[in-house]
Amino acid sequence: MKRITTFLCTALMIQSIAAQSFIQAYKNRADMVTQANITANLQEFGNLGIKTTGSQANTNTLNWIKNKYTAYGYSASQIAESTFTYGSKTSKNLIITKTGTLYPNKFVIICGHFDTINGPGVNDNGSGTSIILEAARILKDVPTEYSIKFIHFSGEEQGLIGSTHYVNNVAYQGGVRKLDIKLVFNLDQVGGVKGNNNNTVYCDEDQGGVSSNNAASTAVTQQLRNCTALYSPLQTAVDPAERTDYIPFEQKGEVITGFFERIESSFPHTSKDTFANVDPVYVYNIGKATVGALQHFATASTTSTVNKTASTASLEATRFYPNPANTVLNIELPDPKITNFSFEMTNLTGRSLLKTNNEAKINVSALEKGVYIGILKTGDQTVVKNILIDR
C-alpha cells in the first residue's frame, strides 16, 4: 500500500483500557507468536521473488501460503480459492474459513494482500502475510464464538482488484449481501524500517467514504488500540483508513480497521523491499497484538491451552556475548539441563552461513563484519537474535 494522504491523526496511546479486561488466555496465545516463525515467513516470502498479479511468482506464493495452512492442519474443505481476471491475466484470492461455535454465519475477516510490484515485497506485504499465517497457526484449534475468515488477496497493487472482486462476487452478489460480516481487520505494510525505534503502530480508522459506518469503525479501532496495549509492548496512534483491501468492504457499509507501520518505509514498490530492510522484531510485536485483537473480535475461549515448562519460559534469557563479537561468540543457556541444542547463523537474506550442535563457543572469525541472524533451537523451542560482527 502506498500512502498519498498527508493528514494523520496522531493521538498517542490516550486509551481507555478499562473498557476491555485483560484475559490471561488471550495473552498466553499472543505469546505463542514466535520470532523464529515470523523471521522464517518473511525470508521465505522474499525468496519467492516479484509477485506481480498474474505472474508465476504470484501463483507460487499463493501455493506457498496454501501449503502453510495445510501444514497447520486446516482441511481442504476450509481452504478455498477465488479466481479473478486482471486484463488478459488471471489471479486468485485465498480464503480460509474457521467456523465459530455460537455464530457460525457471522464472520470476522482478517486479511492482507500478497501481490507485489517491482520487488519481493517483504514489507509490502510479506509482513502482513506472515502475521496472518501466525494467527491462523495459533488459533487453529481455539474455539471462537464468531467464524473467522483468513483472506489473502492478490491484485491490491493494481487497484484493489482482488478484494473488489471478492466483495462484489462473494460477499455481495448482484448488490445483495450474502456474507454477514462483523468487521474487517486488514494488515498492510507493517514491517517497519530497520534501525529505527519502531515502537508504535498505526490503527486505521474509517474517517471517510460511507459515513454510516464511521462510528462503528471508531469503536472497533479503539478496541484494537486497547488490545495492542494489553497483549503487546507497542504504543498506538490513529491513522485514517485509505487505499488498501478494506476499502471495497467500507464502500458497502462494512465496519473496518487495520494496522499500518508508524514510521513509513520508502522501500515498498522497489527492489529494496527485502528482508534486510525490515524490522522482524516489529513484525513480531504486531503479530502479538494481532493475535490478541483477533481473539477479542471473534470472542475466543478464555480457557488457557498453554503450559510452559520452566526451561521453556527461561529460554528467551539465553545470553549471546560478546555482541558485537570479534572472533568468538559465546552462548550461555539459562538452564544447565539444556545440553542438546543447535545454533545457526544466516545473513539478512536468510542464507545459512554457519551451523553447530551443542557448542557454547562459536568461531565466527570467517564471517565478515556486519549484522547476522542467530537462531538457537532446542526441542521445539527457538530463540532468534541479531548478532553483530565487528572488527
Q: What is the 3-state secondary structure (H, E, C) of 74-115?
A: CCHHHEEEEEEEECCEEEEEEEEEECCCCEEEEEEEEEEECC
pLDDT on residue 231: 96
Residues 271, 322: one domain? no
**pLDDT reading at 385 higher than 90:** no
In a domain, residue 378? The reply is yes
What distance in Å separates the CA atoms of residue 119 and residue 250, rounded to the nearest whole number? 29
**pLDDT reading at 15 higher than 70:** no
pLDDT in tens, 316-373: 678 899 988 999 999 999 888 888 999 999 886 667 899 999 999 999 999 998 878 8
Please give the radius of gyration of the chain, using alpha carbons only, rounded to the nearest integer: 21
Residues 234, 341: one domain? no
**pLDDT reading at 42 higher than 70:** yes
Of 257, 240, 168, 251, give the one whose Cα is nearest residue 211.
251
In a domain, residue 234? The reply is yes
In a domain, residue 38? The reply is yes
Question: Reduced to 3 states, what is the DSSP secondary structure of residue 338?
Answer: coil
In a domain, residue 2? The reply is no
In a domain, residue 7? The reply is no
The total of structural domains in the chain comes to 2
**pLDDT reading at 21 higher than 90:** no
**pLDDT reading at 6 higher than 60:** no
Residues 32, 148: one domain? yes
In a domain, residue 9? The reply is no
Residues 283, 320: one domain? no
Supply the mean pLDDT for the chain.
Answer: 90
The pLDDT confidence band at residue 383, using thresholds 50, 70 and 90, is confident
**pLDDT reading at 309 higher than 70:** no
Residues 248, 323: one domain? no
pLDDT on residue 5: 42
Residues 66, 183: one domain? yes
Residues 94, 65: one domain? yes
pLDDT on residue 7: 37
DSSP 182-245: EEEEEE-S----TTS---EEEEEE--SSSGGGHHHHHHHHHHHHHHHHHHSS-EEEEEE--SST
In a domain, residue 274? The reply is yes
Residues 246, 368: one domain? no
CATH number of the domain that residue 137 is part of: 3.40.630.10
Determine which of 111-125, 254-268, 336-350 has the lowest per-residue pLDDT on average: 336-350
Residues 85, 29: one domain? yes
Determine which of 26-40, 188-202, 216-230, 307-321 has the lowest per-residue pLDDT on average: 307-321
Domain limits for position 187: 17-298
Considering 298, 323, 345, which residue would you say is the last residue of a domain? 298
Residues 336, 209: one domain? no
- pLDDT, mean of residues 261-268: 97
- pLDDT, mean of residues 75-98: 96
- How many secondary structure helices (H) and strands (E) does the chain include? 9, 17
CATH number of the domain that residue 328 is part of: 2.60.40.3080
pLDDT in tens, 280-304: 999 999 999 999 999 999 999 998 6
Residues 61, 89: one domain? yes
**pLDDT reading at 272 higher than 50:** yes
Considering 278, 298, 318, which residue would you say is the last residue of a domain? 298
The pLDDT confidence band at residue 378, using thresholds 50, 70 and 90, is confident
**pLDDT reading at 202 higher than 70:** yes
The pLDDT confidence band at residue 1, using thresholds 50, 70 and 90, is low
Strand partners, 210: none
Backbone torsions φ then ψ of 322, nearest 5 degrees? -70, 155
- pLDDT, mean of residues 248-257: 98
pLDDT on residue 349: 63
In a domain, residue 230? The reply is yes
pLDDT on residue 376: 86
Task: Give 303's contacts (C-beta < 8 A, 6+ positions apart).
Answer: 25
Considering 275, 298, 321, which residue would you say is the last residue of a domain? 298
Q: Name the one residue in this structure whose C-alpha cell is 520452566.
A: 310
Half-sphere exposure of 115 (CA within 13 A, CB side): 27
- pLDDT, mean of residues 309-315: 47
Residues 292, 325: one domain? no
Contact between residue 107 and residue 14 where contact means Cβ atoms under 8 Å apart = no
Of 125, 128, 117, 106, give the one whose Cα is nearest residue 258.
128
